[in-house]
Amino acid sequence: MKKTDLGYDETNKKLSSRIDIHNQLSEKDIDQWILNLAEIKPGEKILDVGCGNGKQVVSFGKALKNTGHITAVDISRELLETAKKKAVANGIHNVTFSSHNMDVSFPFPDGEFDLISSCFSIYYVSDSDKLIKEFLRLLKTDGRILIVGPTPKNTEDFWKLHGELTGGRIPEKPLMRRARIEKEFIPLTKKYFSDVSIKIFDNNLHFKTTQQVLDYYTASLLFKESYDAEAEKKEILGKMKREIDKKIELDGEFIIKKQVYGMVGYRK
């Protein structure tokens, strides 16, 4: 499998902003959907890869009811600090946080975990084949992986609007990240794991004000990776504001359609 350099440039402020917007404006509860896929049982040992600011750590910890253990890893020390605070605030104590790069082998013995989860993070890895085989090594017999990430249709209409306003400027990196679950990780999971199931989560975000849309847009990597100059950012935000103003005036709201994969596979 070809190695891919997609970098990692997430910040706690931007990630938290997007999560808050999802919590406020989503039609459906994606955390409950992920929990249903994970089928966590008390006493299990979980590795949460790319844990971010701890959103799934808290959810998984509550499902474990302070039994078992969660090992949460992320490359960003800033996000790990936020995740630690979030876990403590929610009474989640059976968790260890560690800084780790997915491109490097994990410092854990074979067959250590019942569940390995990667939610909205796995597409940053350089070598997808190497990582999936590493997950296989780390799982117990009959252990399982859970991968959650965007389908190629995720926020498709909004990306189209971005393209129209920028003259077709969509950076290669976000395009590649959005496609990797379908193109790389689904085939690899089917190759190395058994009883693979793939679900799709359709969800809409309902924005009532233009400012909400702009806040969401400016917190995205699509926006960050599209422009270098502040003048360009200001210009495109002006165009976006005028377009969203018109749509909200006409329809009373602006909808962004989200679509993500949830995939579970068991160690052969």
CA distance 99 to 48: 12
Please state the φ and ψ torsions of residue 99, each to the nearest 5 degrees.
Answer: -80, 125
- E strand spans, 50-192: 69-74, 95-99, 113-119, 139-150
The pLDDT score that the predictor gives to residue 2 is 44
Tokens 């160690």 belong to which residue? 267
Report pTM: 0.93
The answer to whether 221 and 170 are in contact (CB under 8 A) is no
The pLDDT score that the predictor gives to residue 52 is 94
CA distance 104 to 192: 20
What is the helix (H) or strand (E) element at residue 81, kind and residue range? helix 77-89
CA distance 54 to 51: 6
Output the DSSP codes for 163-200: HHHTTS---HHHHHHHHHIIIIIHHHHHHHEEEEEEEE
Residue 93, CB half-sphere, CA atoms under 13 Å: how many? Answer: 3
Question: Domains in the chain, ordered, with CATH?
Answer: 12-152+172-204+260-267 (3.40.50.150)
Residue from 254, 265, 221, 215 nearest 237 by CA:
215
The answer to whether 141 and 253 are in contact (CB under 8 A) is no
Per-residue pLDDT of the chain (268 residues; tens, 9 = 90+): 345 555 556 677 788 889 899 999 999 999 999 999 999 999 999 999 999 999 999 999 999 998 999 999 999 999 999 999 999 999 999 999 999 999 999 999 999 999 999 999 999 999 999 999 999 999 999 999 999 999 999 999 999 999 999 888 788 888 899 999 999 999 999 999 999 999 999 999 999 999 999 999 999 988 888 887 889 889 999 999 999 999 999 999 999 999 999 999 999 8
Tokens 């104590």 belong to which residue? 93
45-82 burial, b at 16+ Cβ within 10 Å, e below that, comes to bbbbbbbbbbbbbbbbbebbeeebbbbbbbbbeebbeb
Calculate helix-pair angle for 230-251, 210-218, nearest 10 degrees. Answer: 140
